[in-house]
């Protein structure tokens, strides 16, 4: 993962603007501390801040083809790059070992239509000097971040950047580039390239769950994300999602390390050389002292045999980090800020150990209806449509959190639950199989898929448990709750002290649009504007609003839902 900045059709002298463009890119150097690059072609400027994960020795960007008629700057990973390289009609002339260079060669043969073939997480800009044409694209779900900006004084110029902090001084309009879309300067249009059947909210799936298919799809998703030439690890909260990813990862890493490469049953479309060099899996967790997640993560790590690193933070350390967290997140959404702060602190610890990539469990709750409020879905159709809405909006919430909290320290997070092929399987399941109620725990089918009893029933050769039963069937605990229940309580207390009743009473005057409903929300909005006072920045923010129309609490914490306390009463911290 990296940081990109592109300026298309700059209205002045691009060479004279070069230093300013470098200054704009420097604002996102935390995303790519390993190397910087800048290429100017015609009236276009491309800057890149690199985090080297694959093609470490030769993948510096921006990339150019043999005759330098194409310029490419990418943030992300293309997992199927080997297969795509073999699909090229003309003998490719690769200049690097980067997994991203294939994008240029695909474009040369197929044009803009090649975007749909990419399997990975990515945002990129590609400039064709011969046609004076720029295309920009973002991965189907928006795992990576990308913003597009404009200056009303010079409408002919278009800006792109991984984070809005690179654009806020130069653009008076900034929008989050939509996931699954591609921009083409030849038409000036942004069109949707990712349109699977399950994307249609009017179509309610009727396919019964196929446990072997669901299980294999997730295993494959984890396996391909082990593509790395640098030390990697797993974020481990001790909940179902991260624990399951860790369990699969350690099994697959052992297979890869044991294989010869030339004759193995591994997918040869992926370069496994780096994974074989780092076969020992490290896991990482964080929480307040005595938190539910720390205890569960320690147990899972012991069960799996990972090299585990557990960190604690104090309430004061969390409070002190809030301004920095919001600066990096570029949002004031309450749920995102609550959960991002511990992740931000943990990412710093992980990076200090030399680890540059981690697997994480984002996406499962959206795909399977794992949030506790899904217990109150009125109908099957409502349940499915809410999962679909949450998946489509992940780029405004959990994907944004996972990407920016980790990339603040130059750490890349990969999310197997949002694999394109896994989503095709999981989002096509009949919602009646996914539903949760008093007798059926949330995310039942993904738990069942990895239950030893189901493994036996499916005739699996290896029925060794993936996880301890009480972890596999542990109730959903949102990350901002699981790090310690006093974390959210303390945030409310801080906001109560920081925001006066008088200021809160006139909040609608200060913010007539998207007016904060609580002092906590007011406080985060205030911190946001300290870093981003421009209206263009606040217009890019999307807040998550709970389904109060389902009878749910208006507090986004999972602990606020009645089903949480009905299941058990963990010790408060």
- Tell whether 75 and 223 lie within a shared domain: no
Strand ordering across the sheet containing 412-414: 307-312, 282-287, 232-235, 357-359, 412-414
Residue 530 lies in a domain: no
Domain with residue 418: its CATH number is 3.40.50.620
* Residue 360 among known ligand-binding residues: yes
Half-sphere exposure of 498 (CA within 13 A, CB side): 18
- Tell whether 104 and 231 lie within a shared domain: no
Q: Are 441 and 447 in contact (CB under 8 A)?
A: yes
How far is it, in rounded angstroms, from Cα 392 to Cα 178? 10
| Domain finish residue from 195, 229, 250 | 195
Residue 460 lies in a domain: yes
Active site residues: 2
- Tell whether 115 and 246 lie within a shared domain: no
- Tell whether 183 and 286 lie within a shared domain: no
* pTM exceeds 0.85: yes
Mean pLDDT by 10 residues, the chain (573 residues): 94 96 97 94 96 72 94 95 93 85 96 97 98 98 98 97 98 97 97 97 97 98 91 93 96 81 52 60 94 92 96 96 98 96 97 94 96 92 97 96 97 97 98 92 97 97 95 73 82 97 98 96 98 95 87 67 51 40
Q: Which two tokens stand for residue 372?
A: 């506790």
Spatial neighbors of 3 by CB under 8 A, at least 6 apart, are 25, 28, 29, 30, 31, 32, 48, 49, 75, 161, 162, 163, 166, 407
Closest by alpha carbon to 286, among 313, 304, 308, 305?
313
Residue 571 lies in a domain: no
Residue 570 lies in a domain: no
- Tell whether 144 and 185 lie within a shared domain: yes
Interior angle at CA 80, CA 77 and CA 84, nearest 5 = 115
The residue whose two tokens read 């008076």 is 172
Question: φ and ψ at 531, to 5 degrees?
Answer: -95, -30
- Tell whether 248 and 301 lie within a shared domain: yes
The residue whose two tokens read 């030399």 is 354
- Tell whether 188 and 269 lie within a shared domain: no
pLDDT at residue 573, as a whole number: 40
- Tell whether 240 and 164 lie within a shared domain: no
Closest by alpha carbon to 118, among 128, 107, 103?
103
Q: Are 125 and 185 in contact (CB under 8 A)?
A: no
The residue whose two tokens read 């307040």 is 288
Q: Is 423 exposed, middle or buried (0-12, 13-18, 19+ CB in 10 A)?
A: buried
Q: How many domains does the chain have?
A: 2
Residue 336, strand partner residues:
none
- Tell whether 147 and 286 lie within a shared domain: no
pLDDT at residue 546, as a whole number: 77
Q: Which two tokens stand for residue 281?
A: 């899996």
pLDDT at residue 569, as a whole number: 44
Domain with residue 118: its CATH number is 3.60.20.10
Spatial neighbors of 377 by CB under 8 A, at least 6 apart, are 369, 383, 386, 435, 550
- Tell whether 218 and 356 lie within a shared domain: yes
Would you give the DSSP letter of residue 475?
Answer: P
* Residue 361 among known ligand-binding residues: yes
pLDDT at residue 571, as a whole number: 41
Task: Provide the domain limits for residue 430.
Answer: 211-314+339-495
pLDDT at residue 42, as a whole number: 95
- Tell whether 398 and 423 lie within a shared domain: yes
Residue 73, strand partner residues:
125
Q: Which two tokens stand for residue 83?
A: 């297969």
| Domain finish residue from 495, 518, 541 | 495
Q: Which two tokens stand for residue 160?
A: 């792109």
- Tell whether 171 and 245 lie within a shared domain: no
Would you give the DSSP letter of residue 571?
Answer: P
| Domain finish residue from 166, 195, 224 | 195
How far is it, in rounded angstroms, from Cα 572 to Cα 389? 32
Residue 204 lies in a domain: no
């Amino acid at each position: 993962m990296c940081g990109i900045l592109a300026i298309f059709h700059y209205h002045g002298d691009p060479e004279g603007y070069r230093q300013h463009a470098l200054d704009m890119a420097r604002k996102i150097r935390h995303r790519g501390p390993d190397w910087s690059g800048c290429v100017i072609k015609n009236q276009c400027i491309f800057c890149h801040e690199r985090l080297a994960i694959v093609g470490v020795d030769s993948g510096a960007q921006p990339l150019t083809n043999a005759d330098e008629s194409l310029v490419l700057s990418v943030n992300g990973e293309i997992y199927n790059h080997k297969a795509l390289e073999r699909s090229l009609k003309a003998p490719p002339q690769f200049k690097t070992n980067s997994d991203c260079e294939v994008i240029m060669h695909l474009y040369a043969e197929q044009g803009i239509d090649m975007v749909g073939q990419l399997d990975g997480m990515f945002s990129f800009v590609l400039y064709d000097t011969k046609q004076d044409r720029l295309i920009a694209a973002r991965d189907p779900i928006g795992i990576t971040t990308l913003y597009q900006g404009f200056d009303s004084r010079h409408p002919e110029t278009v800006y792109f950047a991984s984070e809005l902090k690179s654009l806020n001084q130069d653009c008076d309009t900034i929008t989050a580039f939509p996931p699954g879309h591609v921009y083409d300067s030849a038409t000036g249009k942004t069109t949707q390239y990712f349109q699977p059947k399950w994307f249609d909210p009017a179509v309610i799936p009727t396919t019964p769950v196929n446990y072997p298919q669901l299980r294999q799809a997730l295993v494959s998703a984890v396996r391909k994300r082990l593509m790395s030439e640098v030390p990697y690890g797993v974020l481990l909260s001790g909940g179902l999602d991260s624990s399951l990813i860790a369990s699969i990862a350690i099994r697959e890493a052992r297979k890869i390390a044991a294989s010869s490469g030339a004759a193995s049953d591994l997918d040869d479309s992926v370069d496994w050389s780096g994974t074989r060099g780092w076969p020992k899996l490290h896991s990482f967790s964080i929480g307040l002292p005595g938190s539910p997640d720390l205890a569960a993560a320690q147990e899972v790590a012991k069960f799996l045999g990972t090299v585990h690193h557990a960190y604690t933070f104090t309430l004061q350390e969390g409070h002190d980090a809030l301004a920095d967290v919001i600066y990096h997140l570029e949002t004031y959404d309450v749920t995102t800020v609550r959960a991002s702060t511990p992740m931000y602190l943990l990412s710093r610890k992980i990076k200090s150990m030399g680890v540059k990539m981690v697997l994480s469990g984002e996406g499962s709750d959206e795909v399977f209806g794992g949030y506790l409020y899904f217990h109150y879905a009125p109908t099957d159709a409502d349940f499915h449509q809410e999962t679909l809405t949450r998946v489509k909006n992940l780029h405004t919430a959990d994907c944004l959190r996972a990407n920016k909290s980790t990339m603040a320290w130059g750490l890349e997070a990969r999310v197997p639950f949002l694999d394109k092929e896994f989503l095709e399987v999981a989002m096509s399941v009949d919602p009646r199989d996914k539903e949760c109620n008093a007798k059926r725990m949330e995310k039942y089918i993904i738990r069942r898929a990895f239950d030893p009893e189901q493994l036996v029933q499916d005739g699996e050769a290896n029925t060794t448990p993936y996880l301890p039963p009480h972890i596999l069937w542990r109730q959903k605990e949102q990350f901002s709750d699981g790090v310690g229940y006093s974390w959210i309580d303390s945030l409310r207390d801080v906001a109560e002290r920081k925001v006066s009743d008088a200021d809160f009473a006139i909040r609608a005057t200060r913010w007539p649009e998207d007016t904060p409903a609580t002092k906590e929300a007011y406080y985060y909005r205030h911190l946001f504007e300290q870093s981003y006072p421009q209206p263009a920045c606040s217009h890019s923010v999307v807040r998550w609003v709970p389904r109060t129309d389902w009878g749910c609490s208006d507090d986004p914490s999972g602990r606020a839902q009645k089903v949480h306390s009905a299941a058990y009463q963990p010790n408060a911290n």
